[in-house]
Amino acid sequence: MGLAQREIESAGITTVALSNIPDLTRAVGVPRLVAIEHPFGETVGRPGDPDRQRAVLWGALEAAEELTKPGGIKQLPFAWPATANKREGHPPTPPPIVNYLRRHPWELPRLLSRDIPRRE
């Protein structure tokens, strides 16, 4: 996502990215980053929680005016309940790469170093 953001910004359109892994998004070198501690699958807010969703979207859009230097970061203050189900947001079954690496654990270093095999 960060690489896409960089391309769009380079093409002359202002961009802002939400991220729930801001350390990774920042490392890619994005122009404006808005950090949000929300789970995957509901980054903007839970289903049926319009107030939180609106506050998160507005917090992100407003950052386009607030952040005035490349690489600027804004932290959104919204908390996620500590009691939330740890599986919330995660897929019902593991993604294919997880099952694959269980059967081929020696290929994990390729994933860690993003040495992606090109196959047909």
Partner 1 sequence: MANEVDSYRFVRGINARLVRSWIKAEPLREIPWTPLRRPLSDCTVALISTGGIALRRDPPFDQEGERRNPWWGDPSFRIIPRGTKADQVRVWHQHIDPSLAEQDLNCLLPLDRLDELVEARKVGGSAPSHYSFMGYLLDPREFLGKTLPQILEHLRSEAVDLVALVPA
The CA distance from 3 to 9, in Å, is 10
Q: Shortest gap between Cβ of 106 and partner 1 (angstroms)?
A: 14
Instruction: Report CA-CA distances (Å) from 6 to 25, 27, 61.
Output: 11, 12, 17
Sequence-separated (6 or more) residues with CB below 8 Å from residue 115: 109
Q: Shortest gap between Cβ of 84 and partner 1 (angstroms)?
A: 9
Q: Shortest gap between Cβ of 103 and partner 1 (angstroms)?
A: 10
- What are the φ and ψ backbone dihedral angles of 109, each rounded to 5 degrees? -55, -30
Residue with tokens 């939330």: 84
Q: Shortest gap between Cβ of 83 and partner 1 (angstroms)?
A: 14
For 11, the token pair is: 């093409």
- What are the φ and ψ backbone dihedral angles of 73, each rounded to 5 degrees? -130, 135
Closest to partner 1 by CB, 48 or 106: 48
Closest to partner 1 by CB, 47 or 106: 47
Closest to partner 1 by CB, 96 or 106: 96
